[in-house]
Amino acid sequence: MTVTGLVGPHVVLLATGGTISSRASEVGGAAVASDTGEQVFASMGVPAAHPVRVVDVFRKGSYLLTVDDMIAICATIRQVLTDPQVLGVVVTHGTDTMEETAYLVDLTHDDLRPVVFTGAQQAADADSPDGPGNLFRAIAVAGSPRARGTGVLLAFAGTIFPAAGVRKRHTTGLDAFANPDFGTVGSVSDSGEVEIRAVRRGPSPLPLPGADDGSPRVDLVAAYPGADSTLLRAALQAGAAGIVLQGTGTGNANRVLCQEVADATAAGVVVVTSTRVEAGAVVPLYGDGGGEDLRAAGAIGSGLLKPSQSLVLLSLLLRLDTPTARIAEAFAVRGTLPD
């Protein structure tokens, strides 16, 4: 970890890698995360809206991250926020798993100062990289008084999203993210003008587990036409303490998967049902292997949380040794829109 010194009110930039730091490994070669945080910051080429202190956490494509890596990012955010001169934090991060890391930070963030995630779809050595503009706008958001008390945000292509519910919606498009259920919280212009609407405070933050708190296995298994219990059983045999079942429609599976879920929950494994559908909640409506049968088999509905963020919440709760009944309560609260 490297830090450049700075005194007075400022924004901290935590660099973790991703496309915003990536360059071709050789002429015509595949892009890999290589630029330092200082290089990413310098790529803006224009003065930032606020003074910035740079912290290098690591340089990785976000497709390589583990839950332990995500916890390390959370811990670094907490560390830099011990400085009262910090206005807010920007995290540059790969877009592949930005929705997971941002949500884990959101679940554990206990500070009025904002944390803003951003990144890029075009590599640093592309003809027209989008990273510098995204970073400039994210710094403007993180240092803005309007962002205070808004929690963890994702700023991308001029739109500001809440972390809960956000997901990558396009593999290559510059306008890469959406939040169909929880919506947006504002926008930031190319010149750094920040507009943020009032944000309702969510549930109280959860504790951040330490590095030595164990790593219970949580697997994601999909339901699909003709699916049997082979993959679910393999996850259980590998020692999964939790399963996120990516259902179809309102959170449905089939009779074979329902029976396997019933056996798993009877053995103490926590099963959460989510859906592959872009928007809308998991609702137990159907029998004959559908969502109502999954509920009867002991599965917990994820509400509005899609599989990626359901996995993050379940992983965190299991690391905190949360009883199954409390896990169900957590999904009921966090899988709904704030009052």
Burial zone of 167 (CB within 10 Å; 0-12 exposed, 13-18 middle, 19+ buried):
buried
- Where does the chain hold its CATH 3.40.50.40 domain(s)? 218-334
**Residue 1: which pLDDT band, with cuts at 50, 70 and 90?**
very low
Phi, psi of 318 (to 5 degrees): -70, -35
Decide: helix, strand or coil at residue 59.
strand
Among 102, 105, 115, smallest CA distance to 166 is for 102
pLDDT for 79-98, tens place per residue? 999 999 999 999 999 999 99
Q: Is the pLDDT of residue 4 over 80?
A: no
Q: Which residues are catalytic?
A: 19
pLDDT, position 212: 67
- 212 vs 251, more confident: 251
* Percent of residues, the chain, with pLDDT higher than 90: 92
Q: For residue 286, what are its two tokens?
A: 């159907």
Q: Mean pLDDT across the chain, nearest whole number? A: 95
In whole angstroms, give the CA distance from residue 22 to residue 124. 6
- Out of 23-37, 240-254, 304-318, least confident range: 23-37
Q: Is the pLDDT of residue 5 over 60?
A: no
- Where does the chain hold its CATH 3.40.50.1170 domain(s)? 10-196
Burial zone of 268 (CB within 10 Å; 0-12 exposed, 13-18 middle, 19+ buried):
exposed
In whole angstroms, give the CA distance from residue 200 to residue 338. 6
Q: Is the pLDDT of residue 3 over 50?
A: no
For 81, how many CA atoms within 13 A lie in the half-sphere containing its CB?
17
How confident is the model over 294-306, as a mean pLDDT? 98
* CA angle (154, 312, 21) in 5-degree steps: 45
**Residue 213: which pLDDT band, with cuts at 50, 70 and 90?**
low
How confident is the model over 10-29, as a mean pLDDT? 91
pLDDT for 39-72, tens place per residue? 999 999 999 999 999 999 999 999 999 999 999 9
In whole angstroms, give the CA distance from residue 338 to residue 37. 35
> Which CATH code for domain 218-334?
3.40.50.40
pLDDT, position 209: 93
Q: Is the pLDDT of residue 294 over 90?
A: yes
SS3 content of the chain, % helix, strand, coil (to 5): 30, 20, 50
The model's pTM is: 0.95
CATH architecture of 10-196: 3-Layer(aba) Sandwich (3.40)
How confident is the model over 128-137, as a mean pLDDT? 98
* CA angle (175, 283, 159) in 5-degree steps: 15
Q: For residue 24, what are its two tokens?
A: 């071709």
How confident is the model over 88-116, as a mean pLDDT? 98
Q: Is the pLDDT of residue 264 over 70?
A: yes
